[in-house]
A and B are shown apart, each in its own frame.
Chain A
Amino acid sequence: MPATDGPAPLPRRLQWHIAEIADIIVETPRVKSLVLTLPDWSGHMAGQHVDVRLTAEDGYQAQRSYSIASAPEASQVALTVERIEEGEVSPYLTQDVRVGDRFEIRGPIGGYFVWTAAMDGPLFLIAGGSGIVPLMAMLRHRAAANGKTPATLLYSSRTYDDIIYRAELEGLAAQDKSLKVTHTLTRKQPSGWKGFARRIDREMLQDTGFPPDARPRIFICGPTPFVETAAGILFDFGHGRHLIKTERFGPTGG
């Protein structure tokens, strides 16, 4: 039998590629987005992440995972990185790097915590801090794909200045009646603040989310206690477990 009649070749496993920084965007005092030039990028889905590997001159390597912030439709891949003070990688990526610098990257990774505009049902996104990043990729994808299913983002930050993508989120919500963005600020609120001013709880999730019979797809990303609180409450409300997808990150990842 000719070889051409065989099954399609399997995709190759993950390979490391060189990424070059094309642009750096200051998001908040502790958060920057890195826009990357990636010649061999295979494309990605909203919600996926990449591994970043840094190699020191003495050969020491440090590796961390970062969510992709950009929509699949964007011309360049962007990562958003929060500086973790004791971290090995994030201080470098948020303070030291310059446009034109290079590092190793592999991905996209993840087939579980992903959303495409072709999926049915409302979308309920719940973000704690930099947990907004993969959820922002979903909202950017939804806007680029002109998605019409109702979507709600509940986003918890410490202070007003810590809200990542604040202006862009305002713009997305202003131009799309089917998208609702609700903030809660847990530590400090500016005068005249109209959003929530406490940690997420049962009442907040009840007021902002969709009822279980609407069968929303729920994505929760943030620190572990945040994710477990939100997922536990929504499970108690009666949302199907397979519809609640979580991505926890530890406090010392950086």
Chain B
Amino acid sequence: MNTPPETPTGPLDGNAAGGILGDLFAIEITAATLICEGCGAFAQVGAASVYGGRMGVILRCRDCGKAMLRMARTRAGLRLDMRGARSLVVDIAHA
């Protein structure tokens, strides 16, 4: 497995965003379920399409392509934007 490459070469799997998401979330978030606001599809974060590089990532729905989650390292700090996701469901007993 490799980090999202510096030169975008197409999406990776949501699993590749585990590191940057781990900067914020205390639990393993790639096993959580993300529900797309665009089409209602639900899938594990690890199965979403990931675009990005060193500065941050965008997770897109594999079904409709809608951007569901963006996370970036900015000068002000970590910035999480979840417009595009209906909800994030975490099985806390197994997280």
Which residues of A come within 8 Å of B, CB atoms?
10-14, 49, 51, 63-67, 106-107, 109-113, 133-134, 221, 224, 245-254
Contact = CB atoms under 8 A, between A and B. Distances in A.
Contacts of A11: 26-27
Given A67-B1, A250-B10, A112 B15 contact: yes
B12 A111 contact: no
A250 B31 contact: no
Nearest to A248: B12
Nearest to A10: B26
Contact of B19 (A65, A252, A253): A65
Contact of B95 (A111, A221, A250): A111
Interface of B is mostly: loop
Contacts of A14: 19, 22-23
A11 B95 CA distance: 9
B30 A109 contact: yes
A162 B33 CA distance: 37
| Interface-centre pick from A12, A67, A111, A253 (highest chain B CB count, 10 A) | A111
A252 B46 contact: no
Given A109-B19, A113-B13, A245 B47 contact: yes
Given A65-B2, A248-B16, A251-B9, 11 more contacts: A13-B22, A13-B24, A51-B3, A63-B19, A66-B2, A107-B19, A109-B28, A109-B30, A245-B47, A247-B16, A248-B13
